[in-house]
Chains A and B, each alone.
Chain A
Amino acid sequence: MSNPVTMDKPGETVLLMGNEAIVRGALEAGIRIAASYPGTPASEIGNTLAEIAKETGIHFEWSTNEKVAFEVVYGASMCNQRGLVPMKHVGLNVALDIMEMAALRGVKGGLVFVSADDPSQHSSGQEQDQRWLAKQNCIPVLEPSDPQDAKDFTIHAFELSERHKQPVMLRTVTRVSHMRSNVKLGELKKLNREAKFDFEQFSYVVAGFDKMFYGREKEANEKIARMMAEFDSSPLNKLVMTGKEKVGVIATGQTYNYVMDALVKLGAKEKVAVLKLGTSNPLPEGPITKLLKGVNKILVTEEPDPFVELHVKALAKDANPKVELYGRIGGKLPAEGELMPYMVDGVIAEMLGQKPEGNPRAEVEKEAKDLIFGRMLTVCAGCPHRPSIYALKRAVKAVKGDIHKVVMNGDIGCYGLAWAPPMSYEDTYFCMGASLGVSQGMSQVGIDTIAWIGDGTFFHAAIPALMNAVQTKTNIKVVVADNGVTAMTGFQPNPQSGKMATGEATKSVSIEAIAKAVGVEHVEVTDAYDTKATEAAFKRMLKTEGVAMVISRRICATEAIRQMRPKRPVPYEVDESKCVGCKLCLTTFGCPGLNFDEDKKKASIDPTICMGCGVCAQVCNVGCIHRRDE
C-alpha cells in the first residue's frame, strides 16, 4: 500500500498517527528542510521524515543533538525556506539557547518546532511542561487535539510563523503523538522558493549596541500582542455557547477529547459551554472573557501544569470575580500528571450537581496488583548491554572488593536499564551526558566513579565533559556501551553508524579516535559478547590512573535481528541431563530468554525469545548450554 503521508489524493481519508499527521501537514505547507534528534514521544515524526525525504525532495537529517537540529533549520529559514524541528520535550532544554535567539531575532521562512511533551512520563525522566519556555520567549503555542488537528495546525503554524516572522511551537502530548485516527488529506505543496540570504537587512547580526537588543525585546512583545488579537477569531479556537449555560469548560489541546466524551456520557452537551482551545499562548482573551462573563462555574482542562488556568484566573478578576474556578489549582484535578477520562467525568458531574462515579474498577484493580507482577523493564534477550554490565560488576568486585566502592553513574539509553534486576548495577541516572560530568565532581572530592554511557549519548552531549576531564586531570573511568545505533528511541543512526537518516552511506565518526584526539591515553575496545575479555579490559581500566576508557562494542541485538529478517538466529538450549539447577544463569545474568522449570528443577530457553548470543553459555559454570545446531 502506498504511504498515506505522501499520498497525492486531496480529500481522501486515511489512518494516520498524530506524529505522521504532523509530517503530512508540513508537506502540505511546503517545507524544504527538517532536522530532528530522536526521543519518545516525538521519534515517529523523524522516522516518517526519514522515510519520505528522498521521495519528496526535502532535506531531513537526524542531527547530533536538538540544538544542532534547531540551528540547521534556522539557517535555512534565514534563507527564506520553511523548516520543521521535531523533538522530545526535554530536547528543547538542549536547544533552548538557539530557540531564544530565534525568537528574539525573528525568522524569515516559516520555522515550526514540535515539543512532544510527555505528561505522566510514559517514557521520560521528567514531565516538564514546555509551554512555559515558549511564553518566556514570546513564542506562540498551538496545541492540537487529535491527528486531524495535528495536520491542520501544522499548516497554520507555518503560515503564522512566516506572517509574524516568529518561530512557532507546535505542542503535542503523548496521547496526541501516538493517537491514530481518520485524517482527511489536503493538497501537497512545493514552494520552490529561491534560497536567498538578506545581506542588506542585518537582521541577524549581533551588534554591540544595547539599543539594538532592547529593540528586539520590544519587537517580540509586539508580535505576541498582534497574535493575541488575531487568535480571538482564529479557527484554532472554537467557542460553543448559547448563553443559557451556567457551566463552562476551557478544554486545551488533547483534553478536549475527555471533555466531549464526558458531556456525551453525562448527557450534558446543552448544559455546558465549551471553548476548544488550540492556542495556549498567547491566550485568546476575547472568547475567554466572554465565557467567564456568561457562566457561574468554569473548568480548565490541560496537561500537565495549570498554564492556561493561571492566566484564566487573572482574567476572571476583571471579567467575573465571582466565578468558581475548577481545575488543578484548587485541587479538583490532580496537580500533576495526565488527566484520565474518568477524572474529567467526575469534575463536570460535580459542577452540574450530579454524583461523580470515580473509577468503578478500583477494587479489583487492587486485587490484580497483588496477584500480578509489575513487569519491570529490562534490556532485550541477547542485548549486548547485559553482558557488559555483568562483566563490569565482576571486574569492580575483583579490583575494589565491593561494588559499592565505586559510584556507578549511568546515562540515558537502553543501557540505563542497568538498574534492572538481576544486574541491579547503577547508582545515578540524570540526563543526556550527565554521567561524565557528575563523575568528575565526585572524583574531585575523593569518590571513585564509573561513567556508563551509550554511543548515541556520547555524541549528543559527552564530548565537552570528556575534554573537561582531560584538562582538569580528573580521575574518571568511562565505559562506552557501544551498540552502534540510538536504540532506545528506535534504532536511528548516529555519527558512527556510517549512514544518514535516509540510509545513504556516509563517513563513520570513531569514538576511540575522538577519545584519543582529546587526550585520553588509555582507550580499549572489546566485544561485549566476550565476557572474559571484557571483564579483563574493565580490570585494566580500573587500575589505570587518570582518564581511562573502555568501549564495549557489539551491535544492538534487536537491530541485528531487524537486519537479518526474515531469517532468525539459531537459538541456544539447555542440556537438561547436565543442568544442575543452580539458577546461576538466572540470578546473576537473567536474560529474558531463560526460564526455570520448578518441577524439573532445570533451566530452559524459550526459542521464540532467544537471540542466539551465546552469552548465557559463558555464564553457566557447568557448560550445559549450547547452540541448537551444535
Chain B
Amino acid sequence: MKTTRVVIAGVGGQGTLLATRLIAETAIKQGLQVRIGETYGMAQRGGPVMGHIQIGEAYSPQIRPGEADALLGFEIAEATRRGVTYLKQGGLAIVNSKKLPPVEVISGMRKYPEEGELVKLLKKVSSKVAVFDATKLAEKAGDPIATNMVMLGALAASGVLPFGQDEIMATMKESIPTRFLELNMKAFKLGAEALKKSKGLLTFLPRA
C-alpha cells in the first residue's frame, strides 16, 4: 500500500489535534499503521500548531519537505507557511481563509499579508489549492468552534485518505460526547459538501 501523508497546520485552540486524532483512530480501526508527529510546544499561547499524519509504511513522525499528499490549513498564513515546505508538487491544499492575526500584526509591527499573495505563493508548489471560509460554515452549523470538523469533512471528501466519510463519522460517533455530536456531524457534512461542490474548479471554493 502507498503511504498517505497529510500535514495539518493551524494555530493553538483551533482543534487541529482532535481532527488529527479522529483520522488516526479511524486508520487504526481499519487495521492500518499510523504515525503522527505533532508540534504544539506553545499552542496555548497562540503559537503555531502542526500535525503530520502518515498512514502506511513510515518510521519518522515527520514528513519530509515536498512529500505531503495533502495540506489541511486551518489558518491561511499558517497553511501557506507549512504548505510551501511540505506539500508535494500537485498535492491538494485545503485552506480555511480565516485570518488569526498574531501579536506582530495586532501591535502594528507588521501587516497581515494579502490573501492573494499567500495563495500565489502556495501555488508555486501546487496548483490544487482550495480556499474557503470554513469558520463561516462552522457558524452555520451552530458554532465557529466546529471549524475543525468542517476541515475534516472536506479532507474526508477529497479522496486523499485511504478511507471515506462514513468510516470517519463512525469514529466521531464513538469519541465525541453525545451533546456535541450533532454540531460536529453537521459541520463535518458541510465541509464535505463544500469540497465536493468545488470539484473541477479547485482554485476557489464557493464562499459560504
Contact = CB atoms under 8 A, between A and B. Distances in A.
Interface string B58-91: 1111101110000000000110110011100000
B174 A181 contact: no
B206 interface: no
A312 B100 CA distance: 49
Contacts of A421: 103-104, 107, 109
A14 B77 contact: no
B85 A375 contact: no
B140 interface: no
B39 to A, nearest CB: 7
A284 B96 CA distance: 51
Interface residues of A, number: 65
A378 B66 CA distance: 31
Q: Is the interface of B mostly helix, strand, loop or mixed?
A: mixed
A376 B24 contact: no
A342 B59 contact: no
A558 interface: yes
Which of A258, A378, A487 has its CB near the most chain B CB atoms (within 10 A)? Answer: A378
B180 to A, nearest CB: 7
Contacts of A594: 106
B164 interface: no
A345 to B, nearest CB: 8
Contact of B28 (A15, A260, A265, A417): A15
Given A15-B34, A180-B38, A592-B46, A375 B180 contact: no
B34 A378 contact: no
Interface in A592-610: 592, 594-596, 608-609
Contacts of B105: 373
Interface in B11-69: 11, 20-21, 24-25, 28, 33-42, 44-48, 57-62, 64-66
Interface stretch (B113-121, B152-160, B195-203): B113-121
A96 to B, nearest CB: 25
Contact of B46 (A175, A340, A380, A596): A380
B36 A179 contact: yes
A178 interface: yes
Nearest to A180: B36
Interface stretch (A22-30, A363-371, A467-475): A363-371
B106 A590 contact: yes
A13 B29 CA distance: 9
A372 interface: yes
B58 to A, nearest CB: 7
Nearest to B60: A257
Interface string A479-494: 0000000011010000
A13 B28 contact: yes
A256 interface: yes
Nearest to B12: A380
B163 to A, nearest CB: 15
B106 to A, nearest CB: 5
A361 B65 CA distance: 6
Contacts of B33: 181-182
Nearest to A381: B46
Interface string B101-144: 11111111110110001100100110000000001000000001
B46 A179 contact: no
Contact of A595 (B41, B106, B125, B145): B106
Contact of A558 (B44, B47, B106): B44
Interface residues of B, number: 62
Interface string B176-189: 00011000000000
Nearest to A607: B144
Given A180-B24, A182-B34, A375 B110 contact: no
Contact of B80 (A264, A372, A583, A586): A372
Contacts, number: 175
A488 B37 contact: no
B45 A342 contact: no
Nearest to B117: A371
Nearest to A362: B65
Contacts of B104: 373-376, 421
A11 B104 CA distance: 50
Given A380-B45, A421-B104, A594-B106, A261 B175 contact: no
A499 to B, nearest CB: 20
Contacts of B125: 361, 364
B46 A368 contact: no
Contact of A360 (B48, B65, B77, B117): B65
B24 to A, nearest CB: 5
Contact of B121 (A123, A371, A376): A371
A264 B57 contact: yes
Contact of B37 (A178, A371, A373, A379): A178
B44 A256 contact: no
B190 to A, nearest CB: 17
B124 A123 contact: no
A375 B41 contact: no
A375 B47 contact: yes
Contacts of B60: 257-258, 260-261, 341
B122 to A, nearest CB: 9
A368 B65 contact: no
A360 B89 CA distance: 11
A356 interface: no
B45 A257 contact: no
Contacts of A608: 135, 144-145
A566 B179 contact: yes
A433 B70 CA distance: 45
A587 B108 contact: yes
A590 B101 CA distance: 11
A373 B58 CA distance: 32
Interface of A: 1, 13-15, 40-41, 122-123, 146, 174-175, 178-182, 256-258, 260-261, 264-265, 340-342, 345, 359-361, 364-365, 367-368, 371-380, 414, 417, 420-422, 487-488, 490, 558, 566, 583, 586-587, 590-592, 594-596, 608-609
Interface of B: 11, 20-21, 24-25, 28, 33-42, 44-48, 57-62, 64-66, 77-78, 80-81, 84-86, 100-110, 112-113, 117-118, 121, 124-125, 135, 144-145, 174-175, 179-180
Given A341-B62, A368-B85, A371-B121, 9 more contacts: A178-B40, A181-B36, A341-B64, A359-B65, A364-B121, A372-B77, A372-B118, A583-B108, A592-B106
20 contacts: A122-B39, A123-B42, A179-B61, A180-B35, A258-B60, A264-B57, A265-B64, A340-B62, A341-B60, A342-B64, A360-B65, A360-B66, A368-B121, A378-B46, A422-B103, A488-B44, A566-B179, A586-B108, A608-B135, A608-B145
